[in-house]
Amino acid sequence: MRLETHVVPDKFTEKVSIAFDYDFDGKSFFELPSFLKPKEGFHLGVIVGSSGSGKSQILKHHFEYTEPSVEWNPQKAIVSHFDTPDIALEKLFASGLSSVPTLCKPYHVLSNGEKYRAYVARVIGDNCIIDEFTSVVNRETAKSLSVSLSKYIRKTNIKNVVLSSCHRDILDWLEPDWVFDCDSNEIHNQDVRSNLKRVAKVEIY
């Protein structure tokens, strides 16, 4: 699929095009990777690839993704934003937030990493889509989040969760049902775990 965008050329785009010998008439094109949407009923799928490789566009065009608007009451603790206390604890623990003092704090005082994990806890469920998964947390946090979230998804039989990320280290920790690699334009959905190390090697070489 070929995507096309348009802007109005001006003195700024003219300066750039002349300086870098780039013929520009206001149109930009991008070839979306050839992605075939897997049949629904899986637990967890992951789209990986370098920045600008088409991950977000695949989510938008194939899964109709728009980032959900999650509101937080500044007068309530983050643990108070769920249907029941039990669900709150399950989802927050699954997102790597297990510190009781943190659970009792309002969202706006949390660190960026804690805010991200609280956001994941709020949105996780059937047909959940998360773009840029683990991009704002350190790799140790990314590992614990990936492991606990994967276990929670399968334990509660959540279906059709799709994550996208430029980080390939999460693949071993998530153990997804399928992986689509935007850089190689390949999907791995049969015995995917045996292919994870081969996919991850792209990051090393």
* pTM, two decimal places: 0.82
pLDDT digits (tens, 9 = 90+) for 61-101: 899 888 888 999 999 999 999 999 999 999 999 999 989 99
Higher pLDDT, 194 or 140: 140
Residue 72: its H or E element:
none
Q: Domain check: are 194 and 94 in the same one?
A: yes
Q: Domain check: are 11 and 64 in the same one?
A: no
Average pLDDT value for the chain: 89
Phi, psi values for residue 165, rounded to 5°? -160, 155
Q: Domain check: are 111 and 150 in the same one?
A: yes
> Is it the case that residue 148 has pLDDT exceeding 90?
yes
In what side-by-side order are the strands of the sheet with 44-48? Answer: 129-130, 161-165, 44-48, 178-181, 186-188
pLDDT digits (tens, 9 = 90+) for 168-193: 999 999 999 999 999 988 888 755 55
Q: Count of CB atoms within 10 A of residue 13's CB?
A: 15
**Mean pLDDT score, 110-121:** 95
Q: Domain check: are 56 and 154 in the same one?
A: yes
Q: Domain check: are 9 and 77 in the same one?
A: no
pLDDT of residue 191: 52
For residue 183, the SS3 value is: coil
Residue 134 amino acid letter: T
Are 28 and 3 in contact by the 8 Å Cβ rule? The answer is no
Q: Domain check: are 10 and 87 in the same one?
A: no
pLDDT digits (tens, 9 = 90+) for 21-54: 999 999 988 787 888 899 999 999 999 999 988 9
Domains in the chain, number = 2
Q: Domain check: are 21 and 95 in the same one?
A: no
Distance CA 56, CA 162 (A): 11
pLDDT grade for 120, boundaries at 50, 70 and 90: very high
pLDDT grade for 3, boundaries at 50, 70 and 90: confident
pLDDT digits (tens, 9 = 90+) for 121-136: 999 999 999 999 999 9
Distance CA 173, CA 114 (A): 20
Phi, psi values for residue 98, rounded to 5°? -120, 0
Q: Domain check: are 55 and 149 in the same one?
A: yes
Q: Domain check: are 148 and 173 in the same one?
A: yes
Which 8-state DSSP code applies to residue 108?
G
Identify which of 160, 190, 192 has the alpha carbon closest to the alpha carbon of residue 42: 160
CATH of the domain at 133: 3.40.50.300
Instruction: State which residues form the domain around 1.
Output: 1-31
Cα angle for residues 149, 153, 167 (degrees, 5° grid): 45
pLDDT of residue 199: 47
Q: Domain check: are 98 and 120 in the same one?
A: yes
Q: Domain check: are 98 and 147 in the same one?
A: yes
In our burial notation (b when 16+ CB lie closer than 10 A, e otherwise), range 71-107 reads ebeeeeebbebbeeeeebbbbbebbbbeeeebbeeeb
pLDDT of residue 60: 92
pLDDT of residue 205: 34
Are 16 and 167 in contact by the 8 Å Cβ rule? The answer is no
Q: Domain check: are 22 and 102 in the same one?
A: no
Distance CA 166, CA 55 (A): 9
Distance CA 162, CA 44 (A): 6
